[in-house]
Amino acid sequence: MDSKDIILDVKNLNTTFISDRKKIRIVKNVSFQLKRGSALAVVGESGCGKSVTMNSIMRFLGRNAIIEADKIQYNALRDGKVTEYRLEQIDKPHGPEMRALRGPEMSMVFQDPMSSLNPVYKVGDQVAEGLLQHNKGMTKAQAREKVLEMFRKLGIPDPEERIDCYPHQFSGGMKQRVVIAIAMICNPELIICDEPTTALDVTIQAQIMELLKEMQTKDGKSIILITHNMGLVAEMADEVCVMYMGRVVEFGSLEDVFDRTSHPYTQALLRSVPVLGLADGQKLETIPGATPNPADLKGGCEFADRCPFATDACREKDIPMFQLSPGHRVRCLKYKDYPVAEGGEAQAEVAEVQ
Amino acid sequence: MSETKTLSIKEQNKSAASSLLKKNIRKFLRNKLAVFGLLVIVIMTVACVAAMIMGIDYSTPNPTIMKAAPDAAHLFGTDTIGRDLLARVLYGGCYSIFIGVFCAVLSSVLGAVLGAIAGYFGGKTDMVIVRISEIFQAFPQLVLVMMLVAILKQRSMGNMLFVFVITGWMTTFRMVRNEFMSLKGETYVKVCEAFGMSKMNVMFKQILPNVMTPIIVSTTTNVAYFILQEASLSFIGLGVADSTPTWGNILNAAKSIQVVQDVWWLWVFPGLAISLFVLAINFFGDGLRDVLDAKQQ
Amino acid sequence: MLKFILKKLALMIPRLLVISLAVFVGLRSTGIDPITFMVPPEVISQQPEMVDQLREDLGLNDPIIMQYFRWLGNILHGDLGLTNKGESISGIIATRLPYTLELSLYAMLFSSIIGIGIGIISAIRQNGFVDYLGRVLAVLGQAVPQFLVGILLIWIFSIKLGIFPSGNRVSPDATNAFMDAFMHLFLPVLTLTIGMVAVLMRYARNTMLDVLNSDYIKTARSKGIPEWKVYLKHGFRNAMKPVLVILMFRIPALIGGSVVIESVFSYPGIGTAMTNAVTNMDYNLVLVITLIIAAVMLICSFMVDVFNALLDPRVRLGE
């Protein structure tokens, strides 16, 4: 697969946070590829590093984060030609190189629309800001037109009046549409959605997810959806990336992960989704134990203490990634008879605590 | 099977509480500035109290050695009428520290009680008390103090303490009131009320302990505040009369430029004393807050 | 918006009246007989009937409420009354108030710029040189009493270096009014500024840090706008309101500080007038000055409300 088909190629991404002179690795050797025009769901419990991974790619983390990777490659496709951007080589997180990509190429939809919008500026101005930043010749009137267009496209009623309103005058669902407008206004190819509907009502959730799905199917955008809601994954995703404690534990197409579930954690995750029609007396499945503290982890598989299939070998060393079928890989010793996936060798552990 | 000792719940709680206390003390000791502050406070207070107990002479004027520079006999020199400055600074420390602590504690108590009543009862009671506090807070505290000094005419220690407490309760009041207003809706409060617990009991035995931490911290910082207030008031000549030394009224002499120029020890030593003590209290208070606040979490 | 302003203004007046009544009654209740300041003691003892008649004529035997309204009426006509020594209070206020306003306004201006500036830079470049310097200054500024800072400055710049005069406001032989003002104002303004900066800096820093941790800052960055725009348009603009509110709340401390600082520098302003009035038990003067200060405080709190509305659309348009 070449760079025309792959829009984002991440290889061995490691993010370490420094706090009080201690270093804690939150994202460990994460690798995945996003196919152009497809939707990738990144799932896992709260705190498993999904957001940190995406924020590392977009370089939204603060100065106390160290981001290292073999490759974070973004392939922009314009007029049939591919331009490769090696994001891991850009050293300034908010320098001109990253900023040129934010908006026209890559954008993010954030979780909480209540706090994601600046309360003191009109929404129209906030959406137009990115547009005017990347289109130096555009006039304010032209930008206003584009914003109105976008509002109509996203189903915001009375756009001519709404464009001059302040964020606090909108409902939650409308605010999220404004956030999506901000993300989409410069027509980026890659949209990362960080739990975009967690803070919204279920009915609004459905509307927003539909919007996002349309962008993928009709406009050909590539979407990464971070979520812990397996139901949404089933509706939206073409491929699924399951993360646990900062590592990718399973990666595959939607059918691979849902029908041919391989990793014990993924199995537990799918079993724990509440389903209508439970039999009387049937208990809701949970995963035993609790998410460990990243600072407390020793070697080996992070899931071992909660895994029903764990053996002593699981706790000894890092587990490599095994290739089960083309496009489906899993990080579990249950499958050690399968070939090791390309680039999935167990990496040497970086010293956790200094 | 390892053997298990069965401890009563009370004993378990006690040992948990004492290990938490030890952990907090250790955390406090790691904060060097806070420890330094505590040391300075203790040393200075002990020095001043010792001087008072020993009855060092601070009030006999000696015209022959007026405005003498520091030397072996008088480590801090003498003041404008020949009194030993070191003795005056030590004695003054006693009074200044006493004023600070007394006013801080009492104004906290007053503010806490009023805040509890206003926050818990709400409604008209609350409105009246809040209006009163607003009127008080409409003024700079020093101006309020000056006005009350004018009304009370006599500049005795008692009057001054009264004036400071009356004008200094508002910040504690607001803090306690806010806490009470949010805590009175808590379930455990409703349970106590449903069981017929008296209102006084609910207010002071149930809710108030939860507010103790910020009250303690703010009382500590208020000690420094009142010491500074007293110093400013005495400096402009409206504090306690000169016969009772305080750090502030020793500095009153420095109103004259002559003194500033020629008798530098008269303002340097009491000035240093105040600054050092207030600095120490601020450090100590910060350390206290770090330890106590963390416990809240 | 206009209705909002008018409503707030209207609320100020009853408050001022209540305060004036409280202070008036408080001062009158001290039991000091104003006659003793107007008539020599021998006359009081030797001619009691004449003194009584005088009391009657001056209305000093009337109930306090009547005296209050008479006094209020006089005030509204511009007659501020006389001091113990018979000087016109209006005259005193007219000469001294502008000097105090000068001092306070310059101190506010400089301490705002410096204090808020350092605070914001400290928040953006955390743990940098400015942040560290700021923290040291803040700690010292809060421990050393303001008047001591004043004395210290006098000692360094006036006595040892001889650059600035050590007090007063006008030199009799001054040729250039501006230079004269500058030389006399420099040290007192500096003293007040140091005190205010120590406090403002920390509040500004904390406010800015809170703002910079907000989600909408991330949204701003995701648009690809330059960092200075993120800090200025999104960061500072949101920090402005709480910082201005804090600034307004420091004004009482500034006024209290001016009273003391005027004493240190023998500065002929309202502060020293107040101090002398209290010392001399000149209640008429104390009353008038207290009310002026109360009026200033109320205006400040009014300004807070106005700023709140101007800077925050949530307040202006209602949530």
The Cα-based distances of B86 to B56, B64, B93, C85 in angstroms read: 10, 17, 10, 41
| Percentage of the residues of chain A whose pLDDT score is greater than 70 | 94
Tens of pLDDT, residue by residue over B148-192, are 888 777 778 888 899 899 888 988 898 888 888 888 778 888 888
Tens of pLDDT, residue by residue over C147-173, are 999 998 988 888 888 888 777 777 777
Q: Is B260 exposed, middle or buried (0-12, 13-18, 19+ CB in 10 A)?
A: buried
pLDDT at A139: 92
Q: Which residue in chain B is spatially nearest to C292 when comparing CA positions?
A: B139
Contact C205, C120 (CB under 8 A): yes
Helix (H, G, I), strand (E, B) or coil at C224: coil
Q: What is the crossing angle of helices C129-143 and C89-124, to 10°?
A: 140
Is A118–C319 a contact, with Cβ atoms under 8 angstroms apart? no
Q: Which residue in chain B is spatially nearest to C252 when comparing CA positions?
A: B140
Contact A248, A236 (CB under 8 A): no
Task: Please check whether residue C166 touches B, CB under 8 A.
Answer: yes
Is C226–A103 a contact, with Cβ atoms under 8 angstroms apart? no
Residues 276-315 of C with CB under 8 A from A: 311-314
* Residue among A110, A212, A61 nearest C216 (CA): A110
Euclidean distance between CA atoms A49 and A46, whole angstroms: 8
Tell me the two tokens of residue A237.
């995703």
Alpha helices by DSSP H, A230-294: 230-236, 254-259, 264-271
Phi and psi torsions of C119, nearest 5°: -60, -45
Query: Is pLDDT at A120 greater than 60 in this prediction?
Result: yes
Q: Identify which of A172-186, A199-213, C9-23 has the greatest average pLDDT.
A: A172-186
Task: Please check whether residue B30 touches C, CB under 8 A.
Answer: no
Is B139–C167 a contact, with Cβ atoms under 8 angstroms apart? no
pTM as predicted: 0.81
Q: Which residue in chain C is spatially nearest to A128 when comparing CA positions?
A: C223
Average of per-residue pLDDT values in chain C: 84
| Percentage of the residues of chain A whose pLDDT score is greater than 90 | 42
Task: Please check whether residue C42 touches A, CB under 8 A.
Answer: no
Which residue spans within chain A are E strands per DSSP?
6-19, 22-35, 39-43, 65-68, 71-78, 81-86, 106-109, 190-194, 222-227, 239-244, 247-253, 322-325, 328-330
- Torsion on CA atoms C165, C170, C176, C177, rounded to nearest 10: 130
pLDDT at C226: 93
pLDDT at A10: 93
The minimal CB distance from C225 to the residues A119, A129, A183 is found for A129
pLDDT at A52: 92
Helix (H, G, I), strand (E, B) or coil at C15: helix
Is C145–B254 a contact, with Cβ atoms under 8 angstroms apart? no
Tens-level pLDDT at each residue, chain B (297 residues): 444 556 677 777 777 777 777 877 887 888 888 889 899 999 999 988 888 888 777 777 777 777 777 777 777 777 778 788 888 888 888 899 999 999 999 999 999 999 888 888 888 888 888 888 887 877 788 888 888 888 777 778 888 899 899 888 988 898 888 888 888 778 888 888 888 888 777 777 777 878 888 899 889 989 999 999 999 988 888 888 777 888 888 888 888 888 888 888 888 888 999 999 999 999 998 888 888 776 554
The minimal CB distance from C219 to the residues A101, A168, A182 is found for A182
Chains B and A touch (3+ CB pairs under 8 A): no
Interface B-C, measured as beta-carbon pairs within 8 A, has a size of 127
Query: Is pLDDT at A6 greater than 60 in this prediction?
Result: yes
Place of tokens 């949209």: A191
The Cα-based distances of A154 to A209, B165, B186 in angstroms read: 12, 61, 43
The minimal CB distance from C297 to the residues B138, B150, B224 is found for B138
Average of per-residue pLDDT values in chain A: 87
Residues 123-152 of B with CB under 8 A from C: 135, 137-143, 146-147, 149-152
Task: Please check whether residue C20 touches B, CB under 8 A.
Answer: no
Q: Which residue in chain C is spatially nearest to A101 when comparing CA positions?
A: C224
Q: Which residue in chain A is spatially nearest to C308 when comparing CA positions?
A: A120
Is B153–C26 a contact, with Cβ atoms under 8 angstroms apart? no
pLDDT at A148: 94
pLDDT at C318: 63
- A118-121, long-range: CB within 8 Å, 24+ apart, which pairs? A118/A167, A118/C216, A118/C219, A118/C220, A118/C234, A118/C237, A118/C238, A119/A166, A119/A167, A119/A168, A119/C216, A119/C238, A119/C312, A119/C313, A119/C314, A120/A166, A120/C237, A120/C238, A120/C311, A120/C312, A120/C313, A121/A166, A121/C237
Is C147–B232 a contact, with Cβ atoms under 8 angstroms apart? yes
* Residue among B101, B213, B244, B116 nearest B168 (CA): B101
Place of tokens 């009057």: B159
CA distance C235 to chain A (A): 9
Task: Please check whether residue B154 touches C, CB under 8 A.
Answer: no
* Exposure on the CB side of residue A219, measured as CA atoms within 13 A: 16
Is A182–C314 a contact, with Cβ atoms under 8 angstroms apart? no
Helix (H, G, I), strand (E, B) or coil at A322: strand
Q: Is the dihedral of CA A244, A246, A252, A254 positive or negative?
A: positive
Is C22–B135 a contact, with Cβ atoms under 8 angstroms apart? yes
Query: Is pLDDT at A351 greater than 60 in this prediction?
Result: no
Q: Which chain A residues contact residue C223 at CB under 8 A?
A: 102-103, 129-130, 133, 182
Q: Please, which residues have CB within 8 angstroms of residue A70's CB and are 6 or more apart in sequence?
A: A11, A12, A88
CA distance B259 to chain C (A): 10
* Exposure on the CB side of residue C246, measured as CA atoms within 13 A: 22
CA distance C221 to chain A (A): 8
Considering just the CA atoms, what is the radius of gyration of chain B in Å? Answer: 24
pLDDT at B2: 44
Least confident of A289-303, C100-114, C262-276: A289-303
Q: Which chain B residues contact residue C260 at CB under 8 A?
A: 142, 232, 235-236
Phi and psi torsions of C156, nearest 5°: -75, -55
The Cα-based distances of C56 to A170, C62, C238 in angstroms read: 69, 8, 62
CA distance C227 to chain B (A): 33
Is C222–A108 a contact, with Cβ atoms under 8 angstroms apart? yes
Interface predicted TM-score (ipTM) of this complex, two decimals: 0.85
Q: Which chain C residues contact residue A170 at CB under 8 A?
A: none
Tens of pLDDT, residue by residue over A27-83, are 999 999 999 999 999 998 888 889 999 999 999 988 889 999 999 999 988 888 888
Is B236–C259 a contact, with Cβ atoms under 8 angstroms apart? yes
Residue type present at position C217: I
Euclidean distance between CA atoms C222 and A108, whole angstroms: 7
The Cα-based distances of B190 to A251, B125, B194, B206, B292 in angstroms read: 52, 20, 6, 11, 27
Q: Which chain A residues contact residue C216 at CB under 8 A?
A: 115-119
pLDDT at B257: 81
pLDDT at C208: 92
Q: What is the crossing angle of helices C251-264 and C146-153, to 10°?
A: 40
Place of tokens 């059918």: A255
pLDDT at A276: 65
Is C143–B147 a contact, with Cβ atoms under 8 angstroms apart? no
Tell me the two tokens of residue B292.
């106590």
Average of per-residue pLDDT values in chain B: 83
Per-residue buried b or exposed e for A136-159, using 16+ beta carbons within 10 Å of the residue's own CB:
eebeeeebbebbbebbebbebeeb
CA distance B242 to chain C (A): 14
Per-residue buried b or exposed e for A81-118, using 16+ beta carbons within 10 Å of the residue's own CB:
eeeebebbeeeebbeeebbebbbbbbbbbbbbbbbbbb
Tell me the two tokens of residue B283.
């450090």
For residues C251-270, average pLDDT? 89
* Residue among B238, B229, B228 nearest B151 (CA): B238
CA distance C202 to chain B (A): 14
Interface of A with C (CB under 8 A): 58, 60, 94, 98-104, 107-108, 110, 112, 115-121, 126, 129-130, 133-134, 166, 168-169, 179, 182-183
pLDDT at C35: 67
Cross-strand bridge partners of residue A6? A35
* Confidence at C32, pLDDT banded by 50, 70, 90: low
Residue type present at position A48: C
pLDDT at C251: 86
Contact partners of A by the rule of 3+ C-beta pairs under 8 A?
C
Tell me the two tokens of residue C14.
């009853």
Q: Is B256 exposed, middle or buried (0-12, 13-18, 19+ CB in 10 A)?
A: middle
Least confident of A70-79, A89-98, C14-23: C14-23
Is C224–A168 a contact, with Cβ atoms under 8 angstroms apart? no
Tell me the two tokens of residue A303.
């899931």
Is B224–C143 a contact, with Cβ atoms under 8 angstroms apart? yes
- Torsion on CA atoms B66, B70, B76, B82, rounded to nearest 10: -10
Biggest alpha carbon–alpha carbon distance for chain A: 67
Q: How far apart are the first and last CA of chain C?
A: 15
Q: Which chain C residues contact residue A119 at CB under 8 A?
A: 216, 238, 312-314
Is B138–C15 a contact, with Cβ atoms under 8 angstroms apart? yes
Euclidean distance between CA atoms C313 and C292, whole angstroms: 33
Q: Which residue in chain C is spatially nearest to B283 when comparing CA positions?
A: C139
pLDDT at B295: 56
Q: What distance lies between CA B218 and its chain's CA centroid?
A: 8
Contact C165, C158 (CB under 8 A): yes
Q: Identify which of A146-155, C5-14, C121-130 has the greatest average pLDDT.
A: A146-155
Residues 160-199 of B with CB under 8 A from C: none
Chain B interface test: which of C15, C17, C147 (most B C-beta within 10 Å): C147
Tens of pLDDT, residue by residue over C91-147, are 888 889 999 988 999 999 999 999 999 999 988 888 888 888 888 888 888 889 999
Q: Which position has the higher pLDDT, C57 or A192?
A: A192
Q: Please, which residues have CB within 8 angstroms of residue A284's CB and are 6 or more apart in sequence?
A: A272, A274, A278
pLDDT at C37: 63
Q: Please, which residues have CB within 8 angstroms of residue C41's CB and are 6 or more apart in sequence?
A: none
Query: Is pLDDT at A347 greater than 70 in this prediction?
Result: no
pLDDT at B183: 82
* Rounded to 5°, angle at Cα A84 from A248 and A150: 85
Phi and psi torsions of B284, nearest 5°: -60, -45
Place of tokens 């983390």: A61
Contact A176, A114 (CB under 8 A): no
* Residue among B257, B234, B68 nearest C157 (CA): B257
Q: Which chain A residues contact residue C225 at CB under 8 A?
A: 99, 129-130, 133
Task: Please check whether residue B260 touches C, CB under 8 A.
Answer: yes
* Confidence at A243, pLDDT banded by 50, 70, 90: very high
Euclidean distance between CA atoms B186 and B179, whole angstroms: 11
pLDDT at A330: 92
Render C266-300 in DSSP notation, one character per residue. Answer: T--SHHHHHHHHHHTT-HHHHHHHHHHHHHHHHHH
